Structure 1
Amino acid sequence: MAKKATSNKGPLCPEHLEQMRRDFQANPIFRMAMNAVCKTPINQVALNRHVVTRTNHTFSHMVKTGAATSQERSGRCWLFAALNTLRMTAAEQMNLEDFEFSQNHLMFWDKLEKANYFLENILKTLDEPTDGRLINWLLQSPIQDGGQWDMFVNLVHKYGLVPKSIMPETESSSNTPSMNHYITAKLREDAAELRKAHSKGAKEAKLRERKAEMMNEVYRMLCIHLGEPPQEFLWQWRDKDKVFHRDGVITPHEFMQRHVPVDLEERVCLIHCPILDYNKLYTIEYLGNVVEGHIVRYLNVELPVMKKAAISMIKDGKPVWFGCDVGKHFDRDLGLMDLELHDLESLYGVSFGMDKATRLNYGHSQMTHAMVFTGVDLDEEERPRKWRVENSWGDKGGDKGFMVMTDPWFDEYTYEVVVEKSYVEPKILKALDTKPIPLPPWHPMGSLACA
């Protein structure tokens, strides 16, 4: 048995270092763990074989889905997930086996709107100190790939939807770092110019004139990387019964109105954040994309409310957009999210005991990724055992790109679900009529889905 550690006040003393060496070397399990982990990734060494063999991809309730999509090397998970909740509706309207919207189309407008949103925020904060926390936060990622549900709704309302063939992927839409780097560099330069001009007495009209020129440059850069989005297009198709159809030349809004009969205004984003009050409505300051569009709104509820709504939608054949912290207790190849997946306590000889609230408060967890619930496995008493997850990382992991999330994992690392309001009790929805409580942009719930 290892000796109790000596008192360690201030610097590490030679006696304490020697004791730590003896304690480690005296335990053969620790030495074996060192030998294994120095050669093999730790999550493979710690993989719990019992969890792997008990996992299966069968569910009591499933939603009809298409083939797995792939966001490639981009952080567009929120757009892919949101569009994936609508794609089978469009497929059914056009009598197709499968269908995919253009993610590049919405990405173009999202980045243009984010650039405008960023510059507007710079104009609103001209008197804030350059080295202050707010300006530092605004400058971090002006047009990052990530987003939230309300930001998706803004884009669809303003720009409509188009089939993937109308605005297909480009090298930069599938591999965004270089595009983001150069546009971010330009926007930071623009911010510096506007702030310096203000400090020298430039009037608002002059600053806004210059801002318009800056936005023209961003539009040009986006077109070079992503192609120019269509104002109208010819749409025709042959359905699964080999019947030919032609809509003629239509706009993105007309395509949406004809083939996507979904009212996005009837959906609400429920969150589970134990460090906030339940049944209250929240928003995040300085977080959004479309100026004068929908603000980000979260209705914080307890877990049973979130689960009940999601299960009810799945039972009715409707997919559910959700946000989670995907990197925790997760194996990409297996497509499995399970709290017992890695036996790290046995490997390290230490325990990990933070609860959900502590992880949020101390920076260990936040929402990082958006996906879609397309199934749930209920036991005999209608309690969820596991959830079927449609991801957007291609078809290589899990069951051809579809994954399994255990219900205990849902409890600890799922933060948001978007459901139709009719699946939530009216007394809870009353909070939607209240003024949202603002949270600072660096609050844990201010994170964007971008994995």
Structure 2
Amino acid sequence: MAQFGQPLEKAELNKLSNSLHKEPNAEVLTRTITHNGIDAAAFDPQAAVRLDPVFSLELETGKVTNQKRSGRCWLFSAANMLRHQFAKQYKVKNFELSEKYLFFWDKIERANIFYDRVIATANRPLSDREVSFYFEMPDDDGGQWDMAAALVEKYGVVPVSAYPETANSEDTSALAATLNRKLRQDGLQLRQLIAEEKSDVEIIAAKEAMLATAYKITAYALGEPPMQFDLTYRDDDKQYHRVTDLTPQQFYQDYIDMDLSEYVTVTNSPDKPLNQLYRLPSEENVVGGRQIQFLNVEMDVLEQVALAQLQDGQAVWFGNDVMQQMDRKRGYLDSNLYRYSELFGVELQMTKAQRLETHEAEVSHAMTLTGADVVADKVTKWKVENSWGAKNGEDGYFTMSADWMNDFVYEVVVNKKYLTDTQRELLTKAPVELPAWDSLA
């Protein structure tokens, strides 16, 4: 039997070096890669041909938004779906909603649900995998579609003019660090109270005081959100409009033509059984609010329902692994953008399921589909609205190849009407609960 765990000796290191120098292009490749960098050496210039930003189907959209130094992409993409509906109905091309408004309430709701989770798991050690997950990042910028929908359904929305971006929403690092530290301290205190068998009255009072502090920190950093506002805008026909004393809930209900209860997250996560409804309770942000659910299907189904919604004139929220095969400046998303396997002469391909199972892949970003190029009934590329400002891509819009969609897109949000009767029936079933560390988390 072979012996493992042996140290590398000089003879073995010489063998490795000799093996390298037997490669016919070793010196040329070393000079090329060390001088230019791996990505530049692996870059395929033909991507410019494949990703020519011309589409047979394009929604009427305006200027892109910019999340700047924050992880609020999920809120920006959700706000894009809502604002495009408003823009289309009221003819206001560059209308923008306040992502900071939803961000504020997410901070408060996350603190509240974190305290509840700490209390519910207080009898477990801190090393417990679920408990560790909650304490690792009690406050986080990132999120899921259903989390955004839960906030909109409870708090409504406001225009960006009523609650504009400020320093701590454009760069959330200091606020996140402060809240994380405070919530962890609070969590330890709650665990201690329970260990000391304090009464429910004492524990509830402690939680209320903690939540008041979290609210104070968030309000100091972001400013309190408006309870009422005036809606003023000039439409694309230059007509002036003004509606006074709207609440955020009124504005959403009366002016945004989207019933979020009719929308579902359709996923392709082949590391788990398909044609199954799943739930991710560990990331839900609103106590008593909307559950995070995924309908896991074949990739061709995900693509079909996304295209159907675009063809009906509505944008599509989608979750993806944006750091894979991406050129930020050019706005390219293409599975063959960087030919690493050819460059190094090694096979680096993995299946989608393998990438998810081994944490090579993750749902790291959310963007918005706003167009597609359909040739002979097949999508060759997609138009993507990002939230990284107008200096990236084509005025902020990216072009995504069909291969990249297949390889690195995991979620789309569509109206249930685009599903088949069989698929809608799955939505009525009890979902399988996923652990906090699932690949879709």
TM-score, length basis structure 1: 0.94
Amino acid at match of 1:427: T
Q: How far is the alpha carbon of 1:304 from its aligned partner?
A: 1.6
In the alignment, which residue of structure 2 is the partner of 1:391?
Answer: 386
Separation in 2 of the partners of 1:417 and 1:128? 36
Separation in 2 of the partners of 1:387 and 1:172? 33
In the alignment, which residue of structure 1 is the partner of 2:265?
Answer: 269
The answer to whether the Cα contact below 8 Å between 2:85 and 2:314 also exists between their aligned partners in 1 is: no
Give the stretch that moved more between structures: 425-434 or 340-349.
340-349
Whether 1:402 aligns to 2:401 is: no
* Deviations 1:242-287 (CA, angstroms, capped at 9, x unpaired): 3222211110111112211211111111000112222111012322
Amino acid at match of 2:227: Q
In the alignment, which residue of structure 2 is the partner of 1:288?
Answer: 284
Separation in 1 of the partners of 2:73 and 2:83? 15
Whether 1:27 aligns to 2:17 is: no
Separation in 1 of the partners of 2:242 and 2:414? 33
Whether 1:345 aligns to 2:341 is: yes
Whether 1:130 aligns to 2:126 is: yes
The answer to whether the Cα contact below 8 Å between 1:320 and 1:418 also exists between their aligned partners in 2 is: yes
Separation in 2 of the partners of 1:30 and 1:75? 41
Structure 2 spans left out of the alignment, 5+ residues: none
Q: How far is the alpha carbon of 1:88 from its aligned partner?
A: 2.1
Separation in 1 of the partners of 2:325 and 2:223? 39
* Deviations 1:368-418 (CA, angstroms, capped at 9, x unpaired): 1100111111112x0111111110001112211111111111111110000
Amino acid at match of 2:202: K
Separation in 1 of the partners of 2:333 and 2:90? 35
The answer to whether the Cα contact below 8 Å between 1:24 and 1:31 also exists between their aligned partners in 2 is: no
Whether 1:415 aligns to 2:410 is: yes
In the alignment, which residue of structure 2 is the partner of 1:72?
Answer: 68
The answer to whether the Cα contact below 8 Å between 2:100 and 2:164 also exists between their aligned partners in 1 is: yes
Separation in 2 of the partners of 1:102 and 1:416? 24
Aligned residues: 440
Alignment partner of 1:210: what SS?
helix
Separation in 1 of the partners of 2:305 and 2:88? 24
Separation in 1 of the partners of 2:3 and 2:118? 51
Q: How far is the alpha carbon of 1:8 from its aligned partner?
A: 7.6
Whether 1:223 aligns to 2:224 is: no
Match of 1:101 among 94, 97, 100: 97
Alignment partner of 1:182: what SS?
helix
Q: How far is the alpha carbon of 1:34 from its aligned partner?
A: 2.8
Amino acid at match of 1:117: I
Whether 1:435 aligns to 2:415 is: no
In the alignment, which residue of structure 1 is the partner of 2:325?
Answer: 329
In the alignment, which residue of structure 2 is the partner of 1:202?
Answer: 198
Separation in 2 of the partners of 1:415 and 1:267? 16
Separation in 2 of the partners of 1:9 and 1:108? 52
Separation in 1 of the partners of 2:27 and 2:113? 54
Report the CA distance shift for 1:58/1:7 in structure 2 as closer, same or farther (over 3 A): farther
The answer to whether the Cα contact below 8 Å between 2:328 and 2:392 also exists between their aligned partners in 1 is: yes
Amino acid at match of 1:395: A
In the alignment, which residue of structure 2 is the partner of 1:449?
Answer: none
Give the stretch that moved more between structures: 15-24 or 68-77.
15-24
Q: 1:78-157 residue pairs with structure 2 within 5 A?
A: 78-157=74-153
The answer to whether the Cα contact below 8 Å between 2:61 and 2:93 also exists between their aligned partners in 1 is: no
In the alignment, which residue of structure 1 is the partner of 2:53?
Answer: 57
Separation in 2 of the partners of 1:304 and 1:208? 49
Q: How far is the alpha carbon of 1:345 from its aligned partner?
A: 1.6
Separation in 1 of the partners of 2:346 and 2:227? 59
Whether 1:306 aligns to 2:302 is: yes
The answer to whether the Cα contact below 8 Å between 2:264 and 2:415 also exists between their aligned partners in 1 is: yes
Separation in 2 of the partners of 1:116 and 1:9? 48
* Deviations 1:333-386 (CA, angstroms, capped at 9, x unpaired): 111111111111222221112101111111100211100111111112x01111
Separation in 1 of the partners of 2:371 and 2:181? 42
The answer to whether the Cα contact below 8 Å between 1:237 and 1:244 also exists between their aligned partners in 2 is: yes
The answer to whether the Cα contact below 8 Å between 1:30 and 1:348 also exists between their aligned partners in 2 is: no
Separation in 1 of the partners of 2:252 and 2:45? 47
Amino acid at match of 1:399: E
Separation in 1 of the partners of 2:274 and 2:363? 18
Whether 1:241 aligns to 2:237 is: yes
* Deviations 1:310-337 (CA, angstroms, capped at 9, x unpaired): 1111111111110011111111111111
Q: How far is the alpha carbon of 1:234 from its aligned partner?
A: 2.0
The answer to whether the Cα contact below 8 Å between 1:322 and 1:418 also exists between their aligned partners in 2 is: yes
CA root-mean-square deviation: 1.6
Separation in 1 of the partners of 2:238 and 2:51? 40
TM-score, length basis structure 2: 0.97
Aligned-residue sequence identity (percent) comes to: 36
In the alignment, which residue of structure 2 is the partner of 1:14?
Answer: 10
Whether 1:253 aligns to 2:256 is: no
The answer to whether the Cα contact below 8 Å between 1:8 and 1:16 also exists between their aligned partners in 2 is: no
* Deviations 1:215-252 (CA, angstroms, capped at 9, x unpaired): 00011111111111001112223323232222111101
Separation in 1 of the partners of 2:115 and 2:259? 31
